[in-house]
Every structure is written in C-alpha cells, then in structure tokens.
Structure 1
C-alpha cells in the first residue's frame, strides 16, 4: 500500500465518526498526554491546534499553559516551511494556511529549548513511522531538531501495522 492509498483508508475511517464522537475519543488521548512523564517534565512543548478530524487539542493547549508550560504552535510560512510561535491564549490565534488556527507573533527561534514535540498524523505504526497529510512540513521542521523527544498522537483506528516511509520521513519516539 502506498501513502495515498493509506491516507484514503484513514479518511474513510474518520468519516465513520461524528465530530462529537471524535471529541469524546480525544479526551482519553489528552488525559494520557497530561499523565505522561515527558509532558510533566517538559518546560517547552511544541504542540498543534487541531483540525476537526484530529485528536482535539484545543483544551489541552490551555491546560498546559495553565500548568506553566511554554506552548509552541506551528505556523505555515511558505509552501515548504513552518515555524514555531508561542501560544498564550486563544486570542493569539488567527486562521492560517489550510484553515488551521495559528498563533500570531514572532517566530520562536530558540529551538534547542524545546523539550517535547507532540505531533499529529494521518496514521502511525508501532515503529513510530508517521504518515502526515502529504506536504512534509513536520518532517522538514523536525529534521532541524532531531534531539527532541517526539510523541505522535492519533485515534486508535488510525494505527496500522506498517506506514510506508522514506529516508526523509521523521519517526516518532512514541505513539499514543
């Protein structure tokens, strides 16, 4: 199976759930994240502000900020690149590329201070291989900070035995 075929399969699986059901399934994933020792220890976390078909992180970003964590969210800045920006609260957000809410403000340049990356994906396998949406933004961004611990998050129905991958694809250290 190639990447396009797997994306199509996962999209079909996602359509079997209502938005309310996906939000409900998201709660368990977010609770596992909040209880994770890497999250507890991290001072600066790269996260994402979810799309409707992803594990919902809208409350999680605020909970992490309330815990005193510095939360960074990606912002797409070109056809090939994204950058990290600090999230303080929902007032920081505006709709950006691909209809994704992105923080306004300055680029977070001190990437070496990021302790943890929590990364969405279309699909993951047990080896941490990740299938994204096909644009390569996360792979390019994460390749510049390979030392960061990476947790992939998805719904259980998005996990498969094998995700097709190539040398430029960045694997996760763990998948929840």
Structure 2
C-alpha cells in the first residue's frame, strides 16, 4: 500500500535523487568553490566565533573551512547531537577533536561552548533552500531548535546549486536563513 507523502518528504526524495546524479568528485569540486566563497564572505571574515557543521558524505564539505578558520584565529564551534532532538555547540580545535557520534558521523568531543551568545555566524546544511532562505532539513528539527537559542547570529545556508528550488514548504517553527550560498550565483 502506498502512503501519501508530505510536500517536505517529496522534496527530500527529489533532492536525494538529484544528488545521485553527480559524482563524489563533482560534489567535492563544488564544495571547494562554496568553501572559497564562505572564506571570502564579509560576515565570516569579521566574525570571531563561527559555528559550522562537519559534513555528511552527501553534504557540502566544510572540513577544510573549519581548519582554515581555525588557522585564521577564529573560534570554531561544531554541533554535537546529544539526543534525538537537540544539538549542543562544542569547541573545535582540530581533527583530533572528532569521534564517531550518534548517527555514525564525526562529531566534536571537545568542551561544550556555553557562551552561545558569542556565536556570530552559523553555517547551516540543508536538503534544500529557496530564494527566501527557507530551509528543508532532514526532518528532525535539530537546527530549528538550536537557532531559536541564537536569534542574533547571522545564518548562512549552504547547498549545491541543484538543491535550490523555487519554494520550500515550511511550518511555523522553521527559521529562514539570512542568506544561502551555493556553487552558482
């Protein structure tokens, strides 16, 4: 029996299919382009504390960006899944700070970054974004809940060009990004 899917579920399915159309090498080249854009971004250049994410295999790769920002003297914070509903920011001082976490992904094991009001920029992954900054995540709401705690932080969604769509279905609790950066303008 086929069950009806929500617009969000359907868009996630579409984006997963689009990702499969591109090789890991192509996605890495696009990730490198996005990382260059982020390194040159005025908000990131001016910020002292930046929260990134450590990418899943199908996401825009930010590993080099984390290390480059660290080398530039910035405080880099990464999210750690602490349960099935929440992430907490952890201080990142290099690749040795990472260990396999709750979803078999590398997560920070450094100390909790408790002064979240100092986070100036949050770079956020997503399944899809639209031109209004609406974001479709993976469906667990981790970032929506976390971003409520840092309302003053400037949010930058990152994705490959094929993840951008005309309209992302939203719910009242979904927070739009201040800006979206992809590998094509």
Normalising by structure 1, report the TM-score: 0.98
SS of alignment partner, residue 170 of structure 1: coil
d(CA) in 2 for partners of 1:55, 1:26: 5
How far apart in 2 are the matches of 1:92 and 1:113?
21
SS of 1:99's equivalent in the other structure is: coil
Specify the structure having the higher radius of gyration (Cα). 2
Gapped regions of structure 1 (runs ≥ 5): none
2:90–2:112 contact (8 Å) kept in structure 1: yes
Looking at structure 1, the residues matched to 137 and 105 of structure 2 have their Cα atoms a distance apart, in angstroms, of 15
Report the aligned-residue RMSD.
0.8
Query: Cα distance, 1:170 vs. partner?
Result: 1.1
Q: Which runs of 5+ in 2 are unaligned?
A: 1-5
Answer yes or no: is 1:119 the counterpart of 2:124.
yes
Distance 1:41 1:160 in 2: 30
Find the counterpart in structure 1 of residue 136 from structure 2: 131
Indicate whether 1:8 and 2:8 are aligned: no
Give the CA deviation at 1:121.
0.3
Q: Please name the residue that 1:169 is paired with.
A: 174
Match of 1:17 among 15, 22, 30: 22
User: 1:59 maps to what in 2?
Assistant: 64
- 1:158 — aligned with what? 163
Secondary structure in structure 2 of the residue aligned to 1:17: coil
SS in structure 1 of the partner of residue 156 of structure 2: strand
1:26-41 alignment, distance < 5 Å: 26-41=31-46
2:94: which partner in 1? Answer: 89
| Greater CA drift, 66-75 or 1-10 | 1-10
C-alpha distance in 2 between matches for 1:58 and 1:116: 16
In 2, Cα distance between the equivalents of 1:89 and 1:2? 39
In the aligned structure 2, how far is the partner of 1:106 from the partner of 1:60? Answer: 20
8 Å contact 2:120–2:152 — kept in the other structure? Answer: no
SS in structure 2 at match of 1:145: coil
State the shift of 1:106 in Å: 2.1
